[in-house]
Amino acid sequence: MNSADIERLLHAIVDTDLGKTLGQLGAVHSVEIAGDRVRVFLEAIGPLHWIARRLDHDCKAAILANYPSANVDVLVRERTTDVKRSPALAGVKNLIAVSSGKGGVGKSTMAANLAAALAQRGASVGLLDADIYGPSQPTMYGLTDQSMRAEKNAEGKVIGYPNEAYGVKVASIGFVMQRDQAAILRGPMLAGYFTMLVEQIVWGDLDFLIFDLPPGTGDVQLTLTQRIPLTGAVVITTPQEIALADVRRSIQMFEKVNVKVLGVIENMSYFIPPDMPERKYHIFGEGGGQSVAEEYKVPFLGEVPIDVRVREGADAGFPFVLDPESGSMGDAFRSVAERIVQQVRIANANTLSSPLQIDL
Ligand SMILES: Nc1ncnc2c1ncn2[C@@H]1O[C@H](COP(=O)(O)OP(=O)(O)OP(=O)(O)O)[C@@H](O)[C@H]1O
Ligand SMILES: [Mg+2]
């Protein structure tokens, strides 16, 4: 057993998210051997917690298949990207906007459940309710009685702290004012609150910061997409044609401002009556999300059905995906979350100083 042999084995392992081998990715940093003991040092495209266990398993399996008596340790470090961020977001690794052209298609519900699903998988997650007209996350996270803790920092600037529920840090204009007040704010005041939300919240270190955007393709969306170094945006739609026109507008807006569209999610795809599980009703039509994704050559991230428990959870302040009984409905959210992380990893691979140019 020598390190060249071991490296050859490691180089052949495939990072399935990226569709490349560790050799192609330049992920094998070094291998140290002392007797039976093998120490493998890897550099992987983040988020690290997502991939580290899989790499550990695959590397051990590859080595032990050839050298059964080896005693293997795998140490994985995250490859750094060169993205520049404002000081408030310095510790935030991946920023994802959840958007839609049309209102009421389930952005906030999706943002709430995706954030919870990512946190449940061990990621550190923040959720920024960027809907300053009609904030939803205080309700969806059961935080309506909370206000925002704020203080002046050393430079005399006001900084605010997120609230936390279910392991997710949440910031919302709803913590600063009542819901009905937000709706009547106009112009410069709105812009001021918005700046505070995106630039003066102390997030600390996060794997993901999810932005729940207000509907549409107006000023707020444009400001955010231009001011924040988003990793990418996901676009939510419902299946029917009338929603798809708005999805097209959303995708075009992101393309115009050079924000990567990580994919399209179709919400409210179908309904399975709990008392007739063999029936499936396509209430809003079928296949619209998939077809608009194909039209714009962006990934389709999955279908999420209609389930009354999701709405009840949203109203009661509990992200339904966390319910141990969430079953196939929870799996729909979890599977969308997995596909988003895969697209985030591809986006990160392509923003390295020497981009790996991984195609979608
Ligand atoms: N998959 C689903 N199953 C059942 N109810 C859902 C589902 N997705 C969303 N809803 C419900 O639909 C309503 C609208 O959802 P939500 O508020 O998330 O939409 P939105 O796109 O954020 O709306 P807005 O454009 O006003 O911000 C809510 O009552 C929510 O509970
Ligand atoms: Mg909303």
pLDDT value for 188 = 66
Q: How far is the CA of 105 from the centre of ligand 2 (A)?
A: 8
pLDDT value for 354 = 59
Q: Name which of 176, 105, 173 is nearest 133 in CA terms.
A: 173
CA-based torsion, 206, 346, 137, 212: positive or negative:
positive
CA–CA gap between residue 221 and residue 224 (Å, rounded): 5
Is 272:279 a contact under the CB 8 Å cutoff? yes
Q: Is the CB of 107 under 6 A from ligand 1?
A: yes
Q: How far is the CA of 88 from the centre of ligand 2 (A)?
A: 24
Q: Which pLDDT tens digit goes with each residue over 310-345?
A: 999 999 999 999 999 999 999 999 999 999 999 999
Rg of the chain's alpha carbons, rounded to an integer?
22
pLDDT value for 79 = 87
pLDDT value for 181 = 61
| Answer CATH for 87-349 from 3.40.50.720, 3.40.50.300, 3.30.300.180, 1.20.1440.120 | 3.40.50.300
pLDDT value for 360 = 43
pLDDT value for 351 = 82
pLDDT value for 314 = 97
pLDDT value for 8 = 96
According to CATH, what is the number of the domain 3-78? Answer: 3.30.300.130
Q: How far is the CA of 163 from the centre of ligand 1 (A)?
A: 22
Q: What is the DSSP letter of 322?
A: G
pLDDT value for 184 = 58
Number of Cβ within a 10 Å radius of residue 258: 9
Closest atom of ligand 1 relative to the 309 alpha carbon: 4
pLDDT value for 92 = 93
Q: Is the CB of 269 under 6 A from ligand 1?
A: no
Q: Is the CB of 265 under 6 A from ligand 1?
A: no
Closest atom of ligand 1 relative to the 104 alpha carbon: 23
CA–CA gap between residue 356 and residue 17 (Å, rounded): 13
Whether 3-78 and 87-349 share one fold: the answer is no
CA-based torsion, 16, 21, 27, 32: positive or negative:
positive
CA–CA gap between residue 321 and residue 343 (Å, rounded): 21
Domain ranges of the chain: 3-78, 87-349
Tell me the helix, strand and coil percentages in the chain, rounded to 5: 40, 25, 35
* pTM, two decimal places: 0.92
Q: How far is the CA of 109 from the centre of ligand 2 (A)?
A: 7
Q: What is the DSSP letter of 190?
A: H
Helix (H/G/I), strand (E/B), else coil: 210: strand
* pLDDT tens, per residue, the chain with 360 residues: 899 999 999 999 999 999 999 999 999 999 999 999 999 999 999 988 889 999 999 999 999 999 999 999 999 999 877 677 777 788 999 999 999 988 999 999 999 999 999 999 999 999 999 888 889 999 999 999 998 888 888 888 888 999 999 999 999 988 887 655 655 556 666 667 777 888 889 999 999 999 999 888 877 788 778 888 899 999 999 998 888 889 999 999 999 889 999 999 999 999 999 888 899 999 988 888 999 999 999 999 999 999 999 999 999 999 999 999 999 999 999 999 999 999 999 999 888 755 555 554
